[in-house]
Amino acid sequence: MQAIMQIENLSKHYDNFDLEDVSFSIPYGSIMGLIGANGAGKSTIIKTILGIAHKDSGYIQIFGRDDIEDNAIKEKIGVVFDGSNFHPAMTPKQINKVLADIYTNWQEDVFYTYLKKLSLPEKKKIEDFSRGMKMKLAIASALSHQPELLILDEPTGGLDPIVRDEILDMFLDFIQDERHAILVSSHILRDLEKVADYITFIHNGRLLFSKTKDELIYDYGLIRCTKEQFSSIERDDIIACRRQEYSCDVLTADKAAAQRKYTDCVIDNVTIDDIMLMYIKGERQ
């Protein structure tokens, strides 16, 4: 499958944090969810991809080229950062004029359609906007210059479920075109479970996995067992486990095989939340 973005062995060193050898790729027509706890390295990856932090080593190819400084590539990328993106003293109407002068493919009509659809007043200053409105404006702006790739850093953080749902719908609309793709980082995993096709999990600056969401949800399972039953589980079947006083929860990558092998244990379905928790808090084998 052809990738809109390919990252290989990306490393970035800070005094108190290292991002090491991260590799993943995003196929055309898909949404990649970048997950991990706060400080795991999600934002560092995004900043390095966008060239606003300099990578120490590795290879980042977007649209088949390893040159994020090329304006032709930047034209095709829509970016939304967590928190503020625009000057609080400006209005959406002014932002339209500024961005129209910057992006060759800026579509004023599309921008105003988004403002209307998202109930954003065009003449009100951004400082008077709620957090949700600011985020909607940032997404509307990112979508109004015919981008093919959207890169979003925590776009739904701190928003109420209704606004989050509206934003997720916008992502799904965008991805209807198979030439498009989205890289979205979030620690609200329920959102990603709704829209993402792939999940890349970063922990302490290292890649734990990059897999399809379906593989995680349908293949992974949670074995609920007693301490005695736990001792009979083969090490190869255990990704991580959490021991409690009388019982154990075991994350396994092959739920179907576990159901056949461990008939006396309860095997539950997993959510992305469960997987993340097991990887971070559990004992890994």
Partner 1 sequence: MKGLLRKDIYLAKDTLAIMLLLGLIIGVSLSFFVPSGVFIPLMTAMLASLTPTTMNLDHTSGWNRLQATMPLTKKTIVMGKYITFTAHILFGYIIGFILCFLMNLIRKNMTPDDYFTFSIIGLSFAFFSGCITLPANHIVKNEKMGIIIFIFSYFASAVILLGTGYLLLKVFLLNLQKDFYIIGWILLAFSLCLFCLSIIVSFKTYEKKELV
Min dist. Cβ of residue 66 to partner 1 (A) = 17
Distance CA 107, CA 115 (A): 13
Name the residue nearer to partner 1 (CB basis): 47 or 242.
47
Q: Which of 174, 179, 221 is nearest to 195 (CA)?
A: 174
Query: Which of 101, 228, 245, 264 is close enough to bind partner 1 by CB under 8 A?
Result: 101
Min dist. Cβ of residue 36 to partner 1 (A) = 17
Min dist. Cβ of residue 83 to partner 1 (A) = 6
In the region spanning residues 10 to 69, those forming contacts with partner 1, defined by CB under 8 A, are 47, 50-54, 69
Interface stretch with partner 1, choices 96-104, 158-166, 181-189, 193-201 (CB under 8 A): 96-104
Min dist. Cβ of residue 37 to partner 1 (A) = 19
Interface stretch with partner 1, choices 34-42, 58-66, 71-79, 175-183 (CB under 8 A): 71-79
Min dist. Cβ of residue 206 to partner 1 (A) = 20
Distance CA 50, CA 87 (A): 21
Instruction: Print the binding letters for residues 123-162 with partner 1: x by CB under 8 A, - otherwise.
Output: ----------------------------x-----------
Distance CA 24, CA 2 (A): 13
Name the residue nearer to partner 1 (CB basis): 102 or 256.
102
In the region spanning residues 178 to 197, those forming contacts with partner 1, defined by CB under 8 A, are none
C-alpha distance across the termini of the chain, in Å: 31
Name the residue nearer to partner 1 (CB basis): 93 or 224.
93
Written as one string, the DSSP assignment of 60-92 is EEETTBS-TT-HHHHHTEEEE-SS--S-TT--H
Query: Which of 86, 114, 129, 230 is close enough to bind partner 1 by CB under 8 A?
Result: 86
The verdict on 226 binding partner 1 (CB under 8 A) reads: no
Q: Would you tell me which residues interact with partner 1 (CB under 8 A)?
A: 47, 50-54, 69, 71-72, 74-75, 77, 79, 81, 83-90, 94, 97-104, 151
